[in-house]
Structure 1
Amino acid sequence: MADIILAGFGGQGVLTAGLILINVAVKQDKNVTWTSSYGAEMRGGTASCSVVISDEEIGSPYPTKLDVLLALNEPSYDKFLPMVREGGTVIVNSSLVKKENYPDNVNVWKIAATDLANEQGAARNTNIYMLGAFVKATGMMEKDFFIEQMNAYFEKKGKINPANAVSIERGYELAEKV
């Protein structure tokens, strides 16, 4: 079982990233839950979603200890880091999380997701770069399968964008362990 929180500012695609993640997990025959939380101001306010992925039946969709944290901004990193269990994985958007020291008891991965998305001309793909880093850091899902299922998710919505696959590939390639 993996208890995961994705968190950042509203408008960064945090909730969409969580939905992509559960859709891919379902295609792997996993049990999943997804819950969201966001500030009243939406864009610019705090947004987070909790994802639980398991081979077994899931008892609660609200994790108290995290296996994985994807922090798209520094306030989210500060808020959710204490929930990460020892040995857990923290993936930070180093474009916005400007920490010099990270805890020794968790595995920290960095990806300059916002900068990379802006350089690509796809500013809305910060979340997709983070998912590429997630695939690499956790090894929970095979990269090509993830891309295939992510594309299928967007195809159902009529929002096919070739930049998404590039963002996963580059996020996977450029994520580095601290």
Structure 2
Amino acid sequence: MTEEMIIAGFGGQGVLSMGKIIAYSGIMEDKEVTWFPSYGPEMRGGTANVTVIVSDKRISSPVLHEYDTAIILNQQSLDKFEKAVKPGGTLLYDPNGIVNPPTRTDIRIFKVEGTRESVEMGNPKVFNMIILGGFLKVKPILKLDNVEKGLEKSLPERYHKLIPLNLEAIKRGQEIVETVKEV
């Protein structure tokens, strides 16, 4: 099993954190992983993306030009990365701020109302965990107990009290992910 993915959105959406949690969770499952971030100089509001590879085999390079999965959190990222999903691959997106939804017919497309749901849960900061939950539902490449360990590893200890809320958000994302297009 090898999963090559891009997570892309604006800075402040938890893009890099989501990638780091996936990477640490893969390590907890004795997988080979890479985490390769890319972001602008802005703290919030600039573009941010991260390439993550989780594999049973050695990874030759963290640099990718095509992806098995794209997790897209804004229109700018959708415009840039929709065409980079491999045929038969998966695109998962949050429709908030997406004016022109994905149009490809040769990939699986899912949406997760992460922005809306995080507000309903009373904490917009769990947005990325709701999206992560949707991803893990459609691509169950990691076990939830290892994701919890990944959260423990990636979050500073002062935030460990928030792990139950993050796990609740992941489970909620698994419940609300919607299929838009199957191939």
Give the TM-score category using the shorter length. over 0.9
**Coordinate RMSD, CA, aligned:** 1.6
* Cα distance, 1:25 vs structure 2: 0.5
TM-score by length of 1: 0.93
Structure 2 counterpart SS, 1:64: coil
Once superposed, which parts of structure 1, at least 4 consecutive aligned residues long, lie more than 6 Å away?
none
1:93 matched residue in structure 2: 94
In the alignment, is residue 172 of structure 1 matched against residue 174 of structure 2?
yes
Q: Is the 8 A contact 1:70 1:91 kept in 2?
A: yes
- 2:31/2:56 contact within 8 Å kept: yes
Tell me the equivalent position of 2:15.
14
Structure 2: tracts of 5 or more residues without a match: none
Question: Do the aligned residues in 2 keep the contact of 1:6 with 1:18 (CA within 8 Å)?
Answer: yes
CA change 1:104–1:43 in 2 (3 A) is same
Residues paired across the two proteins, number: 177
Give yes or no for contact 1:64–1:83 (8 Å, CA) kept in 2: yes
Secondary structure of 1:3's partner?
strand
Counterpart for residue 50 of structure 1: 51
| 2: CA distance, partners of 1:67 / 1:33 | 15
Larger relative contact order (Cα-Cα within 8 Å, sequence gap ≥ 6): 2
- Which stretches in structure 1 are left out of the alignment for 5+ residues? none
Determine the C-alpha separation between the residues in 2 that align with 1:100 and 1:37.
Answer: 24
Q: How does 1:17-36 map to 2 (within 5 A)?
A: 17-36=18-37
Q: For 2:25 and 2:102, how far apart are their aligned partners in 1? A: 33
Which residue does 1:133 correspond to in 2? 134
Deviation at 1:140, TM superposition (A): 1.1
Written as runs of structure 1 = structure 2, the 5 A alignment for 1:67-146 is 67-100=68-101, 102-142=103-143, 144-146=144-146
Instruction: Report which stretch shifted further, 55-64 or 101-110.
Output: 101-110
Percent of paired sites with the same residue: 35
* Alpha-carbon distance change, 49 to 33 in structure 1, aligned in 2, over 3 angstroms: same
1:116 to partner: Cα distance:
0.8
Alignment partner of 2:158: what SS? coil
Q: Using the alignment, how far apart are the partners of 1:89 and 1:5 within structure 2?
A: 11
